[in-house]
Structure 1
Amino acid sequence: MDDQETGKISTGVPDSAASASLPGDFSAEPMREMAFPAVARLELDELLAQLVDRAQDVIETQSRLRGLLRATRTVIADLSLEVVLRRIVEEACQLVDARYGALGVIAREGHLEQFIHVGMEPSLVEKIGQLPRGQGVLGLLTAQPQPLRLNDIATNPRAVGFPANHPPMQTFLGVPIRVRSEVFGNLYLTEKRNGRTFTAEDEELVLALAASAGIAIDNARLFDQAQRRQRWLQASADITRHVLGDGERPLNMIVSRARELAGADVAAILLSGGPSSHLTVEVADGDDAGVLQGRIIPMDGSLGGKAVRTCAPLLVSDAAAEASGNDPYAHGIGPLMIVPLAGSQVANGAVVLGRRHGATPFTDSDLDMAAAFAGHVATALEITQARAARERIVVLEDRDRIARDLHDHVMQRLYAVALGMQGLAAAEERPGQARRMATYVEDLDVTIREIRSTVFELRGRRTTAGSGLRARVASVVDAVSDAFGFAPYLRFEGPLDTAVDAAAGEHLLAVVREGLSNAARHARASSVEVIVRVTGGQLSADVIDNGVGIGNTERRSGLANIRSRAEDLGGTFDLSAGPEGGTHLCWSVPLA
């Protein structure tokens, strides 16, 4: 039987040798040491080395995952968009050991509207000059929003080189940052330290960070929008309270708050008095506000006119390029918002908000909030107009009462006194006293004529919406009162509403408006008088101020228009110095 059958295990040595090595037999020969073959020892060393390498990889991977978790916590720890964007770049650089990093925010037109960078000293950034706008390799990532990894930027066909004073950069890793389904921007990382290249693991880590960054950016944007919306609503409430409380100069408050909330460099309110062919810069605030105030803007060919006529908000990225010369507020302006004032009773108009060329563009969210604000502004203006109309009715009723009392009581008494004095003068025997009595009678006659003219004026201005020529002239005068800071004195003589035809009346209104506008712009007057007469078959208008005088009149097209209107009707026009300085404009035409 073999060894297996007997249950014995063969040792490969004779039995005598086996018996000699039994335990307890110290005289026997020691056993030979166990030894592994050289090939087996090599395989074991390699396995142990691989285990160590794998363990090192696991430790490094675990460390990088901990770094990713820490970066994610850091990124989502703040709700300020500006802070979030910078933290994303800083954490991405630390995560993959990159020397330089940047985040480019993509505008609607495709270029980079914002570029947040880390790793460079401010003095170096200042030497480099203009920040990237999304060309070359950066533009490739914008056009094709997919991860991009390069060992040498210069070898890419889209590379355009670096500007002067720019530090050398070779390795590159770029990934898009998506907010919901839209690409918000791109994350750029360059120059991995110690001369290494970015790996596929680096790309996966940065992609994971970009996904978390998209959520953090979305939250920050929503929080920022909520805060700004709250500020717009608070401003609307403040303005409404100001108007209801009969606060002074509500338009100034409106335009000032709008400019502050929108972060604009210039703001203005454009208004027209109904279906007009032009808009007026009623109030302006910010850059060049003094120059813009009172400017006339035609409806046709202007951005403001387009927004008002279409009754739709207008968002422009570069107003200096798109606007015509008809938009005075667009000079040097880049981003521009124009929001129409939509109300049932308010005059046509718009709120204009602009930022200097090169500034951050307005967003759709900005436009929505400004449009809601403009709705509140329109309501406030309607309230103001309703209150002004009510006060005007009270004033007109008071004027009507005064006119009635003057006509029925004061004039009758003056007539009686004048007749009595005239009778005394005729009966008086002494010539000197008779002459003095006649002088008193003449003075009374002049007073009666002035009171009669005042009665006509008071009754003619019962309503600003009236169709009579007196009421329309009064409306023109009232419209320019704010430009002067006081109400010009207005006097009528003669049957203006019945003796003047429609054509001559339109010419008269244009002459009064132009004369007052010139005085408001150039005269610097403290007193202005407007006299409209219908006497002896002539219609005349005099605008007299106590300002600085005539000055250079050769370049004033408005005066040429007044002269042309007089000549078209066979009349005359004269511009001379006033009796006490200033300017006296006299326009006269014959009545048909």
Structure 2
Amino acid sequence: MDRALHELMDRAGDVLQAQDRLRALLRATQAVVQPLDLPVVLERIVQAAVELVDARYGALGVIAEQGGLEAFIHVGMPPEQVAAIGHLPEGRGVLGALIDDPRPIRLRHITDDPRSVGFPAGHPPMDAFLGVPVRVRDEVYGNLYLTEPRAGEFTPADEELVSTLAATAGFAIANARLYDETLLRQQWTASSAQIASALLDTASSAAIPLLADELAARSPADRICILVPGSEPLTMRVAEARGFAADQVADVVVSAMDTSASLALETGQSRAIPGAREPASADALAIMVGRDAGPMMTVPLKHANTVWAVIVVAREPGRPPFGPAELDIADDLASRVGLAIELAEAREQRQRAELSEDRARIARDLHDHVIQQLFGVGLELQALAGESSTDASARLQGAISTIDDAIAQIRTIIFAMRPRGREDSLRHRILDLVAESSSGLARPVPVSFAGPVDLVLGGPIAADITAVLRELLTNSVRHSGADQIRVSVSVDATWVRVVVEDDGVGIPEQGRRSGLDNLRSRAERRGGVLRIDSEPGATEIEWRVPAPGAQHDADADTTGGPP
């Protein structure tokens, strides 16, 4: 009876102990499944496992896609001891054995295992060891590591309890990941809509800077770069950069061999690049801290099925790499951005077409009505001039000259309003040059043309004419203090003339004339002359060279009149 009573008491103790363990497992399970924030879930798992088997130290190593450990959540060691150890484990030795073969490992003495590689300096001594894989569905998410149990060693019952907790932890991690992914998708759905809306209201030429600003403001990434193909083959240029050390990479030209962004440009597919501990293997656009490179994500931007730019999103070393959900979100954002830019370009093309139609209509009205009316008035004035007195005739001839000048100005305006071809003509280049040089003046500079300028003048002589005009306009705008400047370009069978007039202070006798001397030399090389007629309030400079194909002596006509 005594023996039976003792056996019954022992069994009762075992039952009570088993009940206590089950209660502890239930409490641990409840603690694990309650939170939804993934970092909190991971820390709760480690803490629950330590309490479940009464261990001193515990950790959860999250396995990286490329092998090794991506993150290491630990409990039991004070912060100063963690700082003394330095970097966290990388998944070698017994820890790596569990990664390579995800089956539970229980050791009485960790140093007895031949796969043990010892501990770094400053690491506390550890003896007994228990490692259990944590699975999320069919994926091994990480491993639970427990050491230094209060009982001295881990038992099979401890292994079974921790394995059961790991199974529950897998479901908790899956739910937390889905929750985080849902929140991330909600956030980026709203952000994508706002970014696309902003791009729709922006000129396509300003799309890249705006996109970089919006991504930097709305993304938790540490650096945003937008790359475009470089001017040289097999190169890419950082068009915009925001965030960590952005000024160091902005406008940098990167070899296609040094960055995975070139693969995104070539294949049109997004890619996630994990961090690296070797600078030689790191991407050129990864964030480097010491010898460590942070994770990256490359996202192509497409236009009409052609990749025209690549977004590079980078994180600092130590932060988690980009997952599949983030790649999906980035692809969706890129498609929205591409569509927004296409719509913005289509809107601009429509506006340009409408503007071109309006200009063509105005040009037709000016040509068909205004010029004809002015021409008719000029003919009537010429008839009256022949019948009037000498004084009235002179005044009528002055009015006729004014009308002729107005007709020439209107014809120049009509020409400038016509749609341009693929290659700008000399007239268009002259008009653009005059508009650019005189942008700071209160009054626009009138330009007049005479003769077949575009038909006769091309190639080297056209380059000479634009260079001459640039120099003369610069002098008039910057140094003369003129209120009015006039430009005329003419060509006939014998001469090409470029004349610039202004009402400024004139050209001083002792002033620098290196620019004018260059223009004189340019004219003399072509057999022409540079004529300068300058006094305060009236300056006229004529650059005159023989017309292409003309044969005569430039010195035969130095007054500026017809030869």
TM-score, scaled to structure 1: 0.63
Contact 1:343 1:378 in 2 (8 A): yes
Residue 295 of structure 2 aligns to a residue whose secondary structure is strand
Counterpart for residue 138 of structure 2: 181
CA distance in 2, matches of 1:181, 1:381: 41
Is 1:392 the equivalent of 2:352? yes
Contact 1:242 1:250 in 2 (8 A): no
CA distance in 1, matches of 2:218, 2:165: 33
Counterpart for residue 27 of structure 1: none
CA distance in 2, matches of 1:291, 1:130: 27
Q: What do you get for the CA RMSD once the two structures are aligned?
A: 4.7
Contact 1:468 1:497 in 2 (8 A): no
Is 1:376 the equivalent of 2:331? no
Counterpart for residue 575 of structure 1: none
CA distance in 1, matches of 2:257, 2:456: 36
Counterpart for residue 458 of structure 1: 417
Contact 2:32 2:169 in 1 (8 A): yes
Is 1:310 the equivalent of 2:267? yes
Residue 356 of structure 1 aligns to a residue whose secondary structure is coil
> How many pairs align?
451
Contact 2:224 2:312 in 1 (8 A): yes
Which stretches in structure 1 are left out of the alignment for 5+ residues? 1-43, 482-488, 512-530, 541-589
Is 1:145 the equivalent of 2:105? no
Counterpart for residue 364 of structure 1: 324
Identify if the C-alpha distance between structure 1 residues 347 and 71 changes in structure 2 by more than 3 Å, giving closer, same or farther.
Answer: closer
Contact 1:175 1:207 in 2 (8 A): yes
Identify if the C-alpha distance between structure 1 residues 94 and 409 changes in structure 2 by more than 3 Å, giving closer, same or farther.
Answer: same
CA distance in 2, matches of 1:192, 1:152: 12
Is 1:172 the equivalent of 2:98? no
Residue 175 of structure 1 aligns to a residue whose secondary structure is strand
CA distance in 1, matches of 2:53, 2:448: 86
Counterpart for residue 339 of structure 1: 299
Task: Describe how 1:144-543 pairs up with structure 2 within 5 A.
Answer: 144-193=101-150, 196-243=152-199, 251-252=208-209, 254-259=211-216, 263-271=220-228, 281-289=238-246, 303-318=260-275, 321=280, 329-330=285-286, 332=288, 334-344=294-304, 348-408=308-368, 452-461=411-420, 466-469=421-424
Identify if the C-alpha distance between structure 1 residues 301 and 247 changes in structure 2 by more than 3 Å, giving closer, same or farther.
Answer: closer
Task: Please report how far the alpha carbon of residue 166 of structure 1 lies from its aligned counterpart in structure 2 after TM superposition.
Answer: 1.9
Counterpart for residue 45 of structure 1: 2
Task: Please report how far the alpha carbon of residue 134 of structure 1 lies from its aligned counterpart in structure 2 after TM superposition.
Answer: 1.0
Q: Deviations over 1:29-55 (max 9, x none)?
A: xxxxxxxxxxxxxxx434333322221
Contact 2:203 2:344 in 1 (8 A): no
Contact 1:243 1:383 in 2 (8 A): no
TM-score, scaled to structure 2: 0.66
Contact 1:308 1:349 in 2 (8 A): yes
Counterpart for residue 91 of structure 1: 48
CA distance in 1, matches of 2:402, 2:85: 85
CA distance in 1, matches of 2:383, 2:287: 74
Which stretches in structure 2 are left out of the alignment for 5+ residues? 437-443, 468-486, 499-546, 550-563
Residue 130 of structure 1 aligns to a residue whose secondary structure is coil
Q: Deviations over 1:55-111 (max 9, x none)?
A: 111111110111001111111112211111000000000000011111000001111
Residue 36 of structure 2 aligns to a residue whose secondary structure is coil
Task: Please report how far the alpha carbon of residue 345 of structure 1 lies from its aligned counterpart in structure 2 after TM superposition.
Answer: 7.3
Identify if the C-alpha distance between structure 1 residues 349 and 122 changes in structure 2 by more than 3 Å, giving closer, same or farther.
Answer: same
Counterpart for residue 545 of structure 1: none
- Greater C-alpha Rg: 1
Task: Please report how far the alpha carbon of residue 311 of structure 1 lies from its aligned counterpart in structure 2 after TM superposition.
Answer: 1.7
Residue 181 of structure 2 aligns to a residue whose secondary structure is helix
Aligned partner (choices 18, 22, 26) of residue 65 of structure 1? 22
CA distance in 1, matches of 2:379, 2:299: 66
Identify if the C-alpha distance between structure 1 residues 99 and 377 changes in structure 2 by more than 3 Å, giving closer, same or farther.
Answer: same
Identify if the C-alpha distance between structure 1 residues 290 and 444 changes in structure 2 by more than 3 Å, giving closer, same or farther.
Answer: farther
Identify if the C-alpha distance between structure 1 residues 105 and 281 changes in structure 2 by more than 3 Å, giving closer, same or farther.
Answer: same
Task: Please report how far the alpha carbon of residue 238 of structure 1 lies from its aligned counterpart in structure 2 after TM superposition.
Answer: 2.5
Q: Deviations over 1:191-248 (max 9, x none)?
A: 1126x11111111110110111111111111221122122222222333444556799
